[in-house]
Amino acid sequence: MRKSEVLAAESVSCLNKALCHLKDIWEEIGIPEDQRLQRTNVVKNHIKSLLDMMVKEEECLRQRLVISIQTCRTDMEKLCLELQLNAFEEESGISMLQQENNIRTQVEALLKEKAQRMQQLKALLEQEQDLCDILCSELYGLSADSVPTLEQLESFSQHVASQNTEKLKRYAEFADLKRQIILYMAELEHTPETSFEKDVVCEDEDAFCLSRDNISSLKLLVCQLEESKVENEARCEANREKIQRLWDRLQVPQEDREAFNDHMVSSRKKNLEALRAEVQRLEELKLLNICNVTEAIRSEIAVFWEKCFFSTDQRQDFAPYFSETFTEELLSLHDAEIQRLKQHYEEHQDLFDGVHQWEDSWRLFLDLEKKATDPTRFTNRGGNLLKEEKQRSELHKSLPKLENKLKAQIDTWESEQDREFLVHGKKFLQYVEEQWELHRIEKEKEKQERHLKKSKQTEEDMLYGTAVRTPTKRRLLGTTTPIKTRKFNATSSISSATSNSSSRSVYGATVCRSPAPRPPLSANKTPLVRTPGVGKPPNPRLQGCNKENEAQLKGSPLSARLVKGL
């Protein structure tokens, strides 16, 4: 039996005991039966009224529970719909009170979740509004009245975070651009004029709108100021070059130049104005010294003519250079010409430098060739001969490579410029070929001169018996020429009349014609008639020094007559 049934039985038992006790009391008092019945009816009515009241109260409680359950169900369905959650599943087989408690607890949880979402949404909306005001960007689009989902809140939160990052990025960019603008304006001595420039420079940084358009405008302003600065520096530099050139031409004293040094370094607005004033002053002074200035410019023109390898015809094309009537117009023509030459040199400096390099190498090559014919080179004990031979070997390799490189560069330049590249009025390859040809002719001329000199000396020895001595440098090496009879002297002079020079053919294959190689020495050798006992054998260290001249002498008609006569 349940406890409630036990309690009900006990209540009935208590009621019966109370009624029996009342009956005993009434009997003891002697209350008549009709009054007893009346009194019993009063007790019954009282108990019935009390029980009816209690039942009514419990009925009201049940009704409240039913209403509460219905209300909570309605609220829960609405909240689930707003929060976009699945419907709450009620437990089956539970009492009404437990059911109401479960639904009410669930509703309270949903209300708390809704409040949290709305609070988070409100905070994010406030942040977004501030960021949109600063960045001038569009709103994300979430309504402040509807409850967002968790996914919407997460996405919105990420959007606000990215906007905040963008704000920091743009602010840093704005601060850097503002710093550059202030710096450029200070250098240019520029005062903010437009409202935008005043907003950037003068207003508070936090009040500036960091929109994309404003950032682009800032970058454009920086570029404009930077271009103005570059133009200002270019103007200052051009004026400085003019001033320096005019100072040199007018021979301005050093102390006057030093007094102007401050303006020769800075490029502010006041410096530009001072430079312009100085240029104007020097131009006026130049007109008063036209003759000296023109001569100074002519010296510069001559230097650039040399740098650009101008031929005589090209130089004569500039007729004002040779005029002796010094006027302002003549000075202007010279100024224009020197500017043209400078531009021409700067545009093709790489080619001119390459040709200068070839000429330097060529002069070194000619110098080494000249040293190679010097008989005193064998007396050197410092290793210079070996160094010279090494240099000659390197030049034989580098000259053809350099000529090929210049040829390729010149071909490219000529195809691009659609005109010829001239060196001293000639094409480069023609110029190089002429240098090689001149070198070959010079060597042939030297060879003929040596040959004539040897022939003349030999004839004098044959006619007058002149003793031929070994050159001084060879005597230092311990070689002597024995003196016997006149006949022996003639024979000895033939065998020992060799040149102390040794010339070498031009090495290496080049793009230009090089001197013709010399035939082997054995090709010109003829048997030499030796007189027994005449002189002592030549020094082995010097035996191979004069093979070239020996071959030339033996191949000459005079040497043939001498050998025949002997």
- 244-279 pLDDT, tens per residue? 888 887 778 888 888 888 888 877 888 888 889 988
Which tokens hold the place of 396?
Answer: 């034989």
Amino acid at 537: P
Position 526 confidence tier, pLDDT thresholds 50, 70, 90? very low
Whether residue 484 lies inside any domain: the answer is: no
Least confident of 107-121, 162-176, 383-397, 436-450: 383-397
- Rounded average pLDDT over 44-52: 91
Report the alpha-carbon distance of residue 274 to residue 289 in Å, rounded.
22
Q: Which of 107, 44, 55 is nearest to 80 (CA)?
A: 107
Per-residue model confidence (pLDDT) at position 67: 92
* pLDDT surpassing 50 at residue 555: no
Same-domain check for residues 41 and 77: yes
Per-residue model confidence (pLDDT) at position 378: 61
Position 562 confidence tier, pLDDT thresholds 50, 70, 90? very low
Burial label for 315, CB within 10 Å (0-12, 13-18, 19+), is: middle
Of the candidates 422, 453, 484, which is a domain's last residue? 453
End-to-end CA distance of the chain: 172
- 349-401 pLDDT, tens per residue? 777 777 777 777 777 777 777 776 666 666 655 566 677 777 777 776 677 77
Same-domain check for residues 433 and 293: yes
- Rounded average pLDDT over 442-465: 82
Share of the chain above pLDDT 90, in %: 7
Enclosing H/E stretch for 423: strand 422-423
* pLDDT surpassing 50 at residue 192: yes
Tell whether the torsion through CA atoms of 340, 343, 346 and 350 is positive or negative: negative
Which tokens hold the place of 263?
Answer: 């303006």
* Residue 528 per-residue DSSP state: P
* pLDDT surpassing 70 at residue 507: no
Report the alpha-carbon distance of residue 275 to residue 243 in Å, rounded.
8
- Rounded average pLDDT over 183-204: 81
- Rounded average pLDDT over 429-449: 81
Same-domain check for residues 255 and 291: no
Whether residue 465 lies inside any domain: the answer is: no
Tell whether the torsion through CA atoms of 456, 462, 465 and 471 is positive or negative: positive
- 96-116 pLDDT, tens per residue? 888 888 888 989 999 999 899
Report the length, in residues, of the chain: 566
- Rounded average pLDDT over 68-80: 88
Position 20 confidence tier, pLDDT thresholds 50, 70, 90? very high
Tell whether the torsion through CA atoms of 260, 261, 262 and 263 is positive or negative: positive
Instruction: Find the farthest-apart pair of alpha carbons in the chain and give their distance in angstroms, rounded.
Output: 210
Q: Which whole-number Å values give the CA distances from 176 to 172, 185, 201, in the listed order?
A: 6, 14, 12
Same-domain check for residues 237 and 356: no
Same-domain check for residues 263 and 288: no
Q: Which of 233, 225, 177, 217 is nearest to 201 (CA)?
A: 177
Same-domain check for residues 288 and 419: yes
Position 212 confidence tier, pLDDT thresholds 50, 70, 90? confident
Of the candidates 204, 235, 267, which is a domain's last residue? 267
Q: What are phi and psi of 422, to 5 degrees?
A: -105, 145
Contact at 8 Å (CB) between 26 and 36? yes
In this predicted model, which residue has the larger pLDDT, 555 or 223?
223
* pLDDT surpassing 50 at residue 543: no
Which tokens hold the place of 544?
Answer: 């191979």
* pLDDT surpassing 70 at residue 512: no
Same-domain check for residues 261 and 288: no
Position 484 confidence tier, pLDDT thresholds 50, 70, 90? very low
Report the alpha-carbon distance of residue 369 to residue 375 in Å, rounded.
12
Tokens 């405008």 sit on residue: 217
Which tokens hold the place of 538?
Answer: 């030549």
Same-domain check for residues 291 and 437: yes
User: Domain tally for the chain?
Assistant: 3
Report the alpha-carbon distance of residue 459 to residue 557 in Å, rounded.
12
Contact at 8 Å (CB) between 272 and 235? yes
Q: What are phi and psi of 165, to 5 degrees?
A: -65, -45
For 316, the domain range is 284-374+385-453
* pLDDT surpassing 90 at residue 31: no
Tokens 């311990």 sit on residue: 478
Report the alpha-carbon distance of residue 478 to residue 539 in Å, rounded.
9
* pLDDT surpassing 60 at residue 288: yes
* pLDDT surpassing 60 at residue 504: no
Same-domain check for residues 329 and 405: yes
* Rounded (10°) angle between helices 290-307 and 328-347: 20
Mean pLDDT of all residues in the chain?
75
Whether residue 547 lies inside any domain: the answer is: no
Same-domain check for residues 222 and 310: no
* pLDDT surpassing 80 at residue 282: yes
Same-domain check for residues 220 and 262: yes
Whether residue 417 lies inside any domain: the answer is: yes
Sequence-distant (≥ 6) Cβ neighbours of residue 268 within 8 angstroms: 187, 188, 189, 232
Same-domain check for residues 253 and 338: no
- Rounded average pLDDT over 339-353: 82
- Rounded average pLDDT over 12-27: 90
The CATH number linked to 289 is: 1.20.58.1520
- Rounded average pLDDT over 470-492: 42
Report the alpha-carbon distance of residue 144 to residue 224 in Å, rounded.
45
Radius of gyration of the chain (CA): 60
Contact at 8 Å (CB) between 270 and 189? yes
Instruction: Report strand pairing: 426-427 vs 422-423.
Output: antiparallel
Per-residue model confidence (pLDDT) at position 466: 56
Contact at 8 Å (CB) between 423 and 362? no
Least confident of 40-49, 199-208, 302-311, 387-396: 387-396
